[in-house]
Structure 1
Amino acid sequence: MSRVLLLMVAALLLAGCKKPLVAASDDEKRLEQINARFHGGDLAGAEEDLLKYTVEYPKSGGAWGLMGWVHLKKDDYENAGKYFDKALEVDPNWENAHVGKGAMYRELGDTERARKSYLQAIRMKPDAAEAYSSLLVIELMEGNYEKAVEHGEKGWSYRKDLGTIAANLSVAYHYTGDMKKRREFYDEAKKLGYANLTVLEEVFRGERTIGPGTRATAPEEP
């Protein structure tokens, strides 16, 4: 699966992570600025800032987790895994690190470990919308379209402000043949400013496919 398509069907993702990145001891404004830099595509700048930040705030699960996403975006799986583990070491309740590890495993083609990571995130935080949307992607890849819809609707029930979840649901409903729902969630994704509507349209026209045997090659975003 192409990088742009996985950005469309993910999780979640990481969907920009709307979860607060900071704890009480963190510099909230500064970490949010780094997060914005990451989402703006400046991976080198975000990494440089995070290296300094984690020296000052070594107990920041959000900072270590974001560093994991930076390295995942760079296809540096070894370091991505190390940083996600570090995030969980300093903050065992940082469920987004499990979502990140799930994205990493999915890219590596290990959908079973990816699923386990997403489910662990949900066990830690039952309303982890990004994790449900990420499970949707796994089910799409394996051809379990009704199950994909189920996960997507669960995530949507918790977060109706994430365009990626709406986009994922639009694709899931496309494969179940429910064109009314496909359009409904396409419109929701558009309303929420989802950036890859043209990719959705290519899926609908059959120019791109998602299904059994498809391998993820790009991460969902935090």
Structure 2
Amino acid sequence: MELTIEQALQQGVAAHKEGKLQDAERLYRVILQSQPLHPDANHNLGVLAVSVNKADEALPLFKTALEANPKIEQFWFSYIDALMKEKQNEVARQFIEQAKEQGVAREKLNVFETQLASKNKPENIKSAGPSQVQLNALLEHYQNGRLGAAEKLAVSITQEFPQHQFSWKLLGAVLGQAGRMSEAVDANQTAVTLSPQDAEAHNNLGNTLKVLGRLDEAEVSYTQAIVLNSNFAEAHNNLAVTLQELGRLVEAEASYTQAIALKPDYAEAHSNLGVTLQELGKLDESVARHSQAIALKPDYTEAHSNLGVTLKELGRLDEAEASYTQAIALKPDYAEAHSNLGVTL
């Protein structure tokens, strides 16, 4: 049976996520044989080329994608980044200006402009970046929960060294922990723009977008993280959570399963998969997953409560009661477990 263009693209993206790069390339090229100007196939094939340090081969692919659909911001970022990798700085400047005219967010383009400006400085006056002492202090503040001090130092570093991608990543994490998600999105987007091949940065951006309810955008970020690092178990789990919230349960099940295959002791992924299986009506499998999560992490409150939900649905009320009671023992103010226990009794 011959694949449709959409089916070939879906299979190509799936292979790309799983790290099956030859299969992904073959499927993208099948699409281009039929539709040479297909924007997603061209762009994804370009991403593949960049991932193996062939930015020169990516350039015509990114350009075709951009010309086919200039409304997609990521197409602009990928093309400009590849131009700079190939030291075509003047062309990159021209496309930055074109991107501005198309309405691409200026704050994202400013990062590229800063990089280009730095490239024009004589080597002896280039900013090397923050000192190791500053970075150690930044990490220490963050790891010890001193978010105010961490934010102040991260802001200072990013102002002095606007190309220092790690500082933007940490600033995004600090702002996210402080609940300032809109600002965290901006910081994480800057980190992604500075280093489009950083899978962790894409995952971080997805996390903040998901909290803001921007699920379609979060899905794109997690997918890009997986494309860049197919062994990134946390990104597979986060993508699955997003798919679950979007109501795409079968896809969520597949992503959770992939996360667990990569990291068998991933208690959160086991429990999350248990919730999805319960929603799909696969109750015995759901019990097994929640039980595995608890075996891996006995103090995992949510897993005990989730197990109780599934046991109750199976009519195993005494066991459900025991699970809810254990959840409450671990977290006495766990309102959901109290409510579920009340309904079960």
The TM-score, its normalising length taken from structure 1, stands at: 0.66
User: Number of residue pairs matched?
Assistant: 181
Is it true that 1:92 corresponds to 2:230 in the alignment? Answer: yes
Matched to 1:202, the amino acid is: S
Aligned mates of 1:194, 1:98 — CA distance in 2: 31
CA 1:36–1:148 in structure 2 vs 1: closer, same or farther (change >3 Å)? farther
Is it true that 1:178 corresponds to 2:316 in the alignment? Answer: yes
Deviation (angstroms), 1:131: 1.6
- Which residue number in structure 2 is paired with residue 202 of structure 1? 339
Q: Check conservation: 2:241, 2:252, Cα contact below 8 A.
A: yes
Is it true that 1:136 corresponds to 2:250 in the alignment? Answer: no
2:262 to 102, 111, 124: 124
| Structure 1 residues 1-150: aligned runs within 5 Å | 29=142, 34-35=172-173, 37-38=175-176, 41-54=179-192, 60-150=198-288
- For structure 2, list consecutive stretches of 5 or more residues without a partner in the other structure: 1-137, 143-149, 151-168
Aligned mates of 2:326, 2:170 — CA distance in 1: 26
- Which residue number in structure 1 is paired with residue 42 of structure 2? none
Aligned mates of 2:301, 2:177 — CA distance in 1: 15
Percent identity reads 21
Q: Check conservation: 2:171, 2:184, Cα contact below 8 A.
A: no
Q: Check conservation: 2:243, 2:252, Cα contact below 8 A.
A: yes
CA 1:33–1:110 in structure 2 vs 1: closer, same or farther (change >3 Å)? same
1:60-112 alpha-carbon deviations (Å, 9 max, x no partner): 43332122122122222221112102222333321111112112222222211
- For structure 1, list consecutive stretches of 5 or more residues without a partner in the other structure: 1-26, 208-222
Deviation (angstroms), 1:114: 0.9
Deviation (angstroms), 1:33: 7.6
Which structure has more relative contact order (CA 8 Å, sep 6+)? It is 1
The structure richer in helix per residue is: 2
Q: CA RMSD in A?
A: 3.2
Is it true that 1:190 corresponds to 2:328 in the alignment? Answer: yes
